[in-house]
Amino acid sequence: MMQEHLSLINRTRTILEKYATSRDSKDEAVMAEIIHLLDRAKTPTQQLDAFLHDLARTVRKLFEFSEVCVGIRDTSDGMFRYKVCLGYRVGAQEARKRIVYSPDEMTDDMLYPAVQIGRRTRFYLSENQAFKETEREAFNRPSMLGKERPSDDVMVEGDYIDFFMLDPDREIIGWLELSNPKDGKWPDKRTIRWLELFASIAGAIVYEREWSGRRR
């Protein structure tokens, strides 16, 4: 009887020990990456630029978008600029780094028409030409802009999704921009919700380091 009970307790221990090692769902993999990202962000040596790069790399690895950008609002002039561009050809990357958005432009629906798909998320469609003529060079394949969409659920050149980072007053202080998924399809809803969480976490870090007066 005693032996039987000991064996049962050992089975409980085995179940618990497996918690540390196995990871099989996509959600669990995302959560693990968020934990690692925050762990690295906490170290005193990781400055904001390094954190933004880390964020872009983590998102790119997890969600399989070929193009990932991160931009933030500059504390010196209040304008928005790209800080990280992954997956772009050199010319497009340089063109992006030259772009400066005013706070009004960030939410200008005439200039950048978008479909609101979350409290902090906008989906920009190629058909709506959500870019200025001068911004054509900021795309990897400018010649593909305006080409017909082969089917509704396919993402084409000129489609992109922005996830905004907000301050405590819900003002935009940065954004995460994704385009060109590796499978060519619209991301699923769960991916969008996870990416909103990444933007939210990044917003908290950007706010603390840039806007709260406690700059590192």
Partner 1 sequence: MPPKSPKVAALESRIRETYSLDAKDEQENAIEAINNLIVFCMNPRTRLNAMLQETAKLIHRFFEFKCMAIAMKDPEDGLFKYVFTMGYSPSVSAAYKEIKYTAMDVFDDKSYPSIKISKIARFYMAEDKPYREGEEKCYNRPSLLTQLKRQNPDDLLEADYMNFFMYGSMGEPIGWLECSDTRSGKLPKRETVRWIEMISAIISSIIVERGLDKK
Interacting residue ranges for partner 1, rule: CB under 8 A:
5, 8-9, 11-20, 22-23, 25, 27-28, 31-32, 34-35, 38-39, 41-44, 110, 113, 115, 117-119, 121, 123, 125, 127-128, 149, 152, 166-168, 170, 186, 189-190, 192-194, 196-197, 200-201, 203-205, 207-209, 212, 214
**Among 170, 212, 171, 169, which Cα is nearest to 73's?**
171
Beta carbon of residue 208, minimum distance to partner 1 (angstroms, whole number)? 4
Place of tokens 């907000």: 166
What lies within 8 Å, CB to CB, of 105 at 6+ separation is: 80, 111, 112
Alpha helices in 43-154 (DSSP H): 48-63, 90-98, 103-106
Pairwise CA distance, residues 152 & 122, whole Å? 17
Pairwise CA distance, residues 155 & 45, whole Å? 38
Beta carbon of residue 58, minimum distance to partner 1 (angstroms, whole number)? 13
Longest pairwise C-alpha distance within the chain: 80
- What does residue 130 show for φ and ψ, rounded to 5 degrees? -80, 55
Beta carbon of residue 161, minimum distance to partner 1 (angstroms, whole number)? 10
With respect to partner 1, which residue has the nearer C-beta, 58 or 96?
58
Is 34:170 a contact under the CB 8 Å cutoff?
A: no
Beta carbon of residue 66, minimum distance to partner 1 (angstroms, whole number)? 20
Q: Is 117 helix (H, G, I), strand (E, B) or coil?
A: strand
**What Rg value do the Cα atoms of the chain yield, rounded?**
21
Beta carbon of residue 190, minimum distance to partner 1 (angstroms, whole number)? 7
With respect to partner 1, which residue has the nearer C-beta, 92 or 178?
178
With respect to partner 1, which residue has the nearer C-beta, 93 or 129?
129
Beta carbon of residue 91, minimum distance to partner 1 (angstroms, whole number)? 29
With respect to partner 1, which residue has the nearer C-beta, 135 or 167?
167
With respect to partner 1, which residue has the nearer C-beta, 3 or 22?
22
With respect to partner 1, which residue has the nearer C-beta, 43 or 143?
43
